[in-house]
Amino acid sequence: MTVPPNVLKAIFFDIDDTLFSTSVFAEAARRNSVAAMIRAGLRMEAKECFQELSEIIEELGTNYEHHYDKLLGRIPKENYAGVNPAVIVAAGVVAYHETKFKDLKPYPDVVTAFNILSHTGITLGIITAGLQIKQAEKLIRLKLLDYLNPMAIFITDQLGIGKQNIKLYQYACKSLNLSPENCMYVGDNPIYDVDVPNRLGMISVLNRRSGKYLDVDGKTQPQYTIHDMWGLLEILRQDYRLEI
């Protein structure tokens, strides 16, 4: 399918498991936290501790702020007798943040693609689900802000609209004075990132690359499926006649 020139005015990207592997990062951060807590005096097998921590995160959500306190609350007190539990918790928190400073990096092809696309006149933006400062922090750490239109960053927590609501995508397109048919959305969740933009008439691109939705199917088909940003560039060359 080749579409008339200049149809594509904006590409919005999801962040987690689209711009970087959230799952690989989260696992590394948890392993480092567990190792640090054990070094700080927690007497527990790393494997068992990782399992307990993963359960807590699953049960209380990734944005809950006291995972490590809850971990200590769920295990026998003898496992940290003689050590101030605050020190163990702090060791876990510090290791988590240090992993963030060191390992929160975009997929290399994301940087290349953003660099190429930033010279095309197409607006690059973000539509992401999560807490506003946490998602904004990811964009800063990923060092992608220079490529993005600062008025094209939309975060569910900030707007009070979830990704399951068509109004989120509507709001993003409208804010840029664009009609949904001229806007593309690239994300990894077949339901929120494909079905919802499809209902609005956006151009949907499913990024089957990493994360927990790899085996999930939505109710509708994405217009395109990619496995990395090279795939996206190819679509833009072939169907949108972009000379990139």
Among 188, 195, 203, 235, the residue binding Mg ion under the rule CB under 5 A is 188
- Is 188 or 195 the residue whose CB approaches Mg ion more closely? 188
- Is 15 or 95 the residue whose CB approaches Mg ion more closely? 15
Q: How far is the CB of 9 from Mg ion (least distance, A)?
A: 23
Of the ranges 6-14, 107-115, 159-167, 218-226, which one interacts with Mg ion (CB under 5 A)? Answer: 6-14
Q: Site residues for Mg ion, window 103-142 (CB under 5 A)?
A: none
**Residue 122 identity:** I
Q: How far is the CB of 90 from Mg ion (least distance, A)?
A: 30
What number of chain residues touch Mg ion (CB under 5 A)? Answer: 4
Burial of 147 (0-12, 13-18, 19+ CB in 10 A): middle
Burial of 146 (0-12, 13-18, 19+ CB in 10 A): exposed
Of the ranges 79-87, 88-96, 137-145, 185-193, which one interacts with Mg ion (CB under 5 A)? Answer: 185-193
Show the CA angle centred on residue 144, arms to residues 176 and 152, nearest 5°: 10
Of the ranges 12-20, 51-59, 79-87, 197-205, which one interacts with Mg ion (CB under 5 A)? Answer: 12-20
Tell me if 14 contacts Mg ion by CB under 5 A.
Answer: yes
- H or E element in which residue 33 lies: helix 22-39
- Asked if residue 241 lies in contact with residue 2, where contact means CB atoms within 8 angstroms, the answer is yes
Q: How many Å apart are CA 174 and CA 63, to the nearest integer?
A: 29
Of the ranges 23-31, 156-164, 168-176, 184-192, which one interacts with Mg ion (CB under 5 A)? Answer: 184-192
Tell me if 17 contacts Mg ion by CB under 5 A.
Answer: yes
- Is 16 or 195 the residue whose CB approaches Mg ion more closely? 16
Among 8, 12, 16, 200, the residue binding Mg ion under the rule CB under 5 A is 16
Q: How many Å apart are CA 192 and CA 222, to the nearest integer?
A: 11
Of the ranges 15-23, 95-103, 107-115, 227-235, which one interacts with Mg ion (CB under 5 A)? Answer: 15-23
CB atoms within 10 A of CB 192: 23
φ/ψ bin of 10: left (φ > 0), alpha (ψ from -120 to 50), beta (otherwise): beta
Q: How far is the CB of 86 from Mg ion (least distance, A)?
A: 34
Q: For CA atoms 189, 14, 244, 112, give the dihedral sign.
A: negative
Nearest residue to Mg ion, using CB? 16
By CB under 5 A, name the binding residues for Mg ion: 14, 16-17, 188
